[in-house]
Amino acid sequence: DSGVTQTPKHLITATGQRVTLRCSPRSGDLSVYWYQQSLDQGLQFLIQYYNGEERAKGNILERFSAQQFPDLHSELNLSSLELGDSALYFCASSVASGGYEQYFGPGTRLTVT
Amino acid sequence: GDSVTQMEGPVTLSEEAFLTINCTYTATGYPSLFWYVQYPGEGLQLLLKATKADDKGSNKGFEATYRKETTSFHLEKGSVQVSDSAVYFCALTLNTGGFKTIFGAGTRLFVKA
């Protein structure tokens, strides 16, 4: 158990809909990262927050957004969903920003039908 | 652009065989390098890391050395076990204003008894 929790574990929704994925980092970790894992694209870095502020952006679509709240939990919002958004979404946390070890949550499996 | 290239899998070995998984990277700066492992149905776990040239990361019998001159971070283990069957990801973290992380495509390892 990494100490990172993600909810929900599974999510099935229809095209065009909007969903919110939630992540609680390990106690004491200030940085949260979001990743998308799909069979064709592999593991893609989406975005990083550090202590409530956006720190780095990867291959995140404009239809996706994220935020980190004062209690350090984070939410990833996915809107106007397409079939191709079906994937595993991982959250990870680290103690700070930088070359630190990231602790991964168990993931949320999103299926768009 | 920045990237990580891993040898394609799957790699199938017999128990007690020697393992090498090749990883090379391209980076505009001076990255930290990581190997993560993903067991079926789980999130990624850090296996080992190295933050500067010639550093050797090691854990659970696995080793990798940060080779700046060849931009490589190959993973090795002298004697694999069935329990090592998993997907292995090479990754780098770069300071680009924020810290972005780039993962390789992953290499699936099967170890037969």
pLDDT at A98: 65
pLDDT at B71: 96
- Angle subtended at Cα B24 by Cα B46 and Cα B44, rounded to the nearest 5 degrees: 20
Query: Are residues A75 and A62 in contact, defined by beta-carbon separation less than 8 angstroms?
Result: no
Check if A60 contacts B (Cβ < 8 Å): no
Query: Are residues B25 and B94 in contact, defined by beta-carbon separation less than 8 angstroms?
Result: no
Residue B26 has pLDDT above 80, yes or no: yes
Q: Looking at residues A84-105, what average pLDDT do you find?
A: 88
* Percent share of chain A, pLDDT over 70: 97
pLDDT at B108: 95
Q: Between A and B, how many residue pairs show a Cβ–Cβ distance under 8 A? A: 66
Residue B79 has pLDDT above 80, yes or no: yes
Residue B110 has pLDDT above 90, yes or no: yes
The predicted-structure confidence for B63-75, as pLDDT tens digits, reads as follows 999 999 999 999 9
Query: Are residues A31 and A55 in contact, defined by beta-carbon separation less than 8 angstroms?
Result: yes
Closest Cβ opposite residue A99 in set B32, B36, B102: B32
pLDDT band at A43 (very low <50, low <70, confident <90, very high): confident
- Judge: B98–A101 Cβ closer than 8 Å, yes or no: no
Residue B6 has pLDDT above 90, yes or no: yes
pLDDT band at A99 (very low <50, low <70, confident <90, very high): low
- Mean pLDDT for all residues in chain A: 93
Closest Cβ opposite residue A45 in set B36, B44, B102: B102
pLDDT at A92: 94
The predicted-structure confidence for B31-54, as pLDDT tens digits, reads as follows 999 999 999 888 899 999 999 999
Q: Of B12, B95, B72, B15, give the one whose Cα is nearest residue A97.
A: B95
- How far apart, in whole angstroms, are the C-alpha atoms of residue A69 and residue A89? 19
